């Protein structure tokens, strides 16, 4: 069952059957769990492959898995066997949402299409997160984050003189996951109004094309195009964190007032009336010159000096922090960004709390990421199986009841 703190959460009472693996789907269902949903993670024999990424202790509890699968319960099922499928269908009959990331051919083979599961649960929100829309010729292609960064235009936009490159975090996975969260919650709202379930498909390529082109379409917004694609400010090779006398700072001078204040601060007030810099339209054309100027000026003073000056002028600026430095940041500490927990097998852990504040509602106290098959006996009992049936179903998991033999469903 869901932790007590989730009883008033926005998705309290919503059960999600999570058939996803790797990054995208588990991040989607993590967010749903953080909003109070009861997420049952159904894992194939051997479990989600991400269990074993950087799993130095050999426990199947690698750091990405520990982050992405908090708040979930694990049930290990072999869906290719009749007994496993029977358990799944009974589980789906109790669910509000099913999420999977199978390609169309695999979903058809395993009978996990919307029409298959709506036959069991007509009010079900059936969400597929996959690489490419099933309506197009790429429907059966395999896809991971790197492939989508390449095919969506993002790698080309991110690249420079040496060619295209990838964003170092799997942004296509995570961006598509968040799109799926929005689609699922919208479908649940629709169901409350209509009483009907819905089939949702959230494709990575189309999502990331939308994501990339919002600002990068440029002249191609017009048909025929009226200019090149791209956004000059973000395309500038001089757009980067700037070196100060003792570190680096991220600063974004943007409005007319901010540029006037910056020119005054650096002793060059006349530049505010320079035709190249007077308006945002002109500055966009001459952005390389402005960013070169920023680079030249910032090296003369310390990070602390610049931050104080920028704060006084209302210019957005922050120091560049490494990942380890985030854990000591005074603001992140003050707002309780990091949650310290103790995992039953992995010991003390730090996780990032859900960043959204539903004012007046308590945060959800998430259970730790599950060991493989950990909650099998518990979930089977909830589904109406008796002790002898549970024992016969041979649930896998290090936390399985002592009298339950190990094996695969």
Q: Which of 336, 333, 317, 194 is nearest to 247 (CA)?
A: 317
Q: How far apart are CA 371 and CA 92, in angstroms?
A: 22
The dihedrals phi and psi of 269, each to the nearest 5 degrees, come to: -65, -25
Shortest CA distance to 72 belongs to which of 24, 25, 16? 16
- Which run of H or of E encompasses 39? strand 38-43
Residue 305 is among the residues annotated as catalytic for this protein: no
Category of 21 on φ-ψ map: left (φ > 0), alpha (ψ -120 to 50) or beta: beta
Residues facing residue 129 across a β-bridge: 202
Q: Taking a C-beta distance cutoff of 8 angstroms, is the pair 50, 333 a contact?
A: no
* 227 DSSP 8-state letter: S
Nearest to 185 by CA among 170, 200, 173, 174: 200
106: CB partners within 8 A, 6+ apart: none
Whether the bond into 23 is cis, omega within 30 of 0: no
Identified catalytic residue from 48, 173, 339, 357: 173
Calpha distance 9→128 (Å, rounded): 24
The residues assigned a catalytic role are 173
């Amino acid at each position: 069952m869901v932790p007590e703190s989730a009883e008033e959460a926005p998705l309290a009472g919503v059960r999600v059957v999570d058939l996803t693996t790797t990054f995208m789907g588990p991040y989607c269902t993590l967010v749903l769990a953080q909003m109070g949903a009861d997420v049952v993670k159904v894992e194939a024999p051997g479990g989600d492959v991400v269990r074993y990424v950087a799993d130095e202790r050999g426990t199947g509890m690698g750091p990405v898995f520990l982050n992405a699968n908090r708040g979930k319960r694990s049930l290990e099922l072999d869906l290719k066997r009749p007994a496993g499928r029977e358990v799944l269908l009974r589980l789906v009959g109790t669910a509000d949402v099913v999420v999977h990331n199978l390609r169309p051919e695999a979903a058809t083979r395993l009978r996990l299409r919307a029409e298959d599961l709506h036959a069991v649960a007509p009010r079900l929100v059936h969400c597929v997160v996959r690489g490419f829309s099933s309506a197009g010729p790429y429907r059966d292609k395999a896809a991971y984050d790197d492939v989508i960064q390449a095919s969506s235009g993002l790698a080309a936009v991110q690249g420079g003189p040496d060619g295209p490159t990838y964003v170092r975090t799997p942004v296509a996975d995570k961006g598509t996951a968040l799109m799926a969260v929005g689609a699922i919650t919208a479908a649940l709202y629709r169901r409350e109004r209509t009483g009907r379930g819905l089939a949702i498909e959230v494709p990575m390529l189309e999502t990331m094309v939308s994501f990339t082109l919002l600002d990068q379409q440029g002249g191609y917004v017009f048909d025929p195009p009226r200019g090149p694609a791209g956004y000059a400010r973000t395309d500038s090779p001089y757009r980067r964190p700037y070196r100060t006398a003792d570190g680096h700072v991220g600063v974004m001078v943007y409005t007319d007032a901010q540029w006037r204040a910056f020119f005054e601060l650096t002793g060059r007030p006349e530049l505010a009336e320079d035709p190249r810099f007077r308006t945002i339209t002109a500055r966009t054309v001459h952005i390389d010159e402005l960013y070169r100027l920023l680079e030249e000026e910032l090296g003369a003073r310390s990070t602390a000096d610049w931050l104080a000056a920028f704060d006084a002028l209302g210019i957005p600026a922050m120091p560049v922090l490494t990942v380890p430095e985030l854990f000591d940041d005074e603001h992140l500490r003050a707002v309780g960004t990091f949650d310290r927990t103790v995992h039953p097998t992995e010991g003390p852990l730090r996780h990032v709390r859900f960043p959204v504040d539903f004012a007046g509602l308590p945060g959800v106290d998430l259970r730790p990421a599950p060991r493989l098959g950990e909650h099998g006996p518990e979930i089977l009992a909830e589904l109406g199986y008796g002790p002898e049936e549970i024992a016969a179903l041979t649930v896998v998991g290090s936390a399985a009841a002592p009298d339950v033999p190990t094996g695969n469903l």
